[in-house]
């Protein structure tokens, strides 16, 4: 391509660029159910709730159960209103005008200015403020106004009671292991099996981060026979039979690939 054409192309790109709005609306964060991964909670919406689109969460014996951040953000309010309104509540600023509220808490586990991610425990279910029994009062807001709650982009039930199961923080944990081959380097494969291409090796004794685990070709190694394969990078898998993880099967908390 000649220089003249490049110049014309650049001019064209500039012209297109000028048409893009200076501050496009930011996409909503992917909000998740504000409880630890795997838990199921009954969530209720009702027309006489204040504000209208709030969601009240309950489950059996929920007093003191952990409440987690719905999405990554910065805690910008940790407030105790005493025996009125929200009582003890936390607000998280998610950017783009989005925020979430967690009210009637029993106690706090975060402070103002703290950065939180999915699954971070921010407090515990309580019955503080104008509450008549333990529950979590939860809100999503945009520019200060309450909006209809969505989890993973799916609208909550308005109006009524529905069970919501949390996938909050399920995929955020990784495990670690140590390769043990008694000498030779361990072959890294592009997929979870010996039939996949060899894409490298890891040295005996190397520490590896395991992002997820899956089932593949059965391999007999230092730690017996296993079909588990560990993903240690993008397109990089090693046989778990050669990795000391402290667990005979899958590592608790590490997701399936
Ligand atoms: Zn409420």
Looking at the DSSP assignment, which residues form a beta bridge with residue 137? Answer: 56, 103
Residue 81: closest CA among 63, 54, 47, 108: 108
Instruction: Out of 15-24, 65-74, 246-255, pick the least confident.
Output: 15-24
- Spatial separation of the C-alpha atoms in residues 16 and 229, rounded to whole Å: 47
Compute, in degrees rounded to 10, the torsion defined by CA atoms 7, 9, 12, 14.
-70
Q: What DSSP designation does 17 have?
A: H
CA distances from 220 to 30, 188, 196, 257 (A): 41, 15, 17, 21
Answer left, alpha or beta for residue 85, where phi above 0 means left and psi between -120 and 50 means alpha. left
The pLDDT tens digits for 104-135 are 999 999 999 998 888 889 999 999 999 999 99
C-alpha 254 to ligand 1 mean position (Å):
34
C-alpha 52 to ligand 1 mean position (Å):
9
What count of residues does the chain have? 257
C-alpha 64 to ligand 1 mean position (Å):
17
The pLDDT tens digits for 19-49 are 444 444 567 898 999 999 999 999 999 999 9
Strands of 186-189's sheet, edge to edge? Answer: 198-202, 186-189, 236-239, 224-233, 212-221
So what's the pLDDT on residue 26? 64
C-alpha 236 to ligand 1 mean position (Å):
47
Residue 101: closest CA among 159, 83, 81, 24: 81
C-alpha 102 to ligand 1 mean position (Å):
10
C-alpha 253 to ligand 1 mean position (Å):
31
C-alpha 226 to ligand 1 mean position (Å):
49
C-alpha 211 to ligand 1 mean position (Å):
38
C-alpha 190 to ligand 1 mean position (Å):
49
Confidence of residue 257 (pLDDT cuts 50, 70, 90): confident
Cβ atoms 4, 136 nearer than 8 A: no
């Amino acid at each position: 391509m000649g220089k003249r054409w490049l110049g014309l192309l650049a001019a064209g790109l500039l012209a297109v660029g000028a048409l893009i709005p200076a501050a496009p609306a930011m996409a909503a964060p992917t909000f998740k159910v504000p409880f630890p991964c795997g838990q199921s909670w009954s969530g209720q919406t009702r027309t006489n709730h204040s504000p209208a689109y709030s969601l009240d969460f309950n489950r059996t014996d929920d007093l003191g159960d952990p409440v987690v951040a719905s999405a990554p953000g910065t805690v910008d309010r940790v407030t105790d209103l005493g025996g009125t309104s929200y009582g003890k509540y936390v607000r998280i600023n998610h950017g783009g005008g989005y925020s979430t509220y967690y009210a009637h808490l029993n106690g706090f586990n975060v402070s103002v200015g703290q950065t939180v991610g999915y699954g971070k425990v921010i407090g515990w279910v309580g019955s503080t403020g104008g509450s008549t029994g333990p529950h979590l009062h939860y809100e999503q807001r945009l520019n200060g106004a309450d909006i209809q709650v969505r989890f993973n982009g799916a609208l909550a039930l308005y109006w009524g009671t529905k069970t919501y199961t949390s996938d909050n923080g399920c995929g955020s944990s990784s495990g670690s292991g140590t390769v043990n081959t008694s000498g030779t380097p361990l072959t890294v494969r592009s997929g979870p099996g010996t039939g996949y291409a060899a894409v490298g090796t890891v040295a005996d004794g190397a520490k590896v981060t395991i992002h997820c685990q899956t089932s593949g070709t059965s391999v007999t190694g230092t730690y017996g026979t296993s079909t588990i394969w560990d993903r240690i990078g993008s397109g990089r898998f090693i046989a778990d039979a050669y990795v000391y993880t402290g667990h005979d099967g899958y590592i608790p908390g590490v997701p399936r690939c």
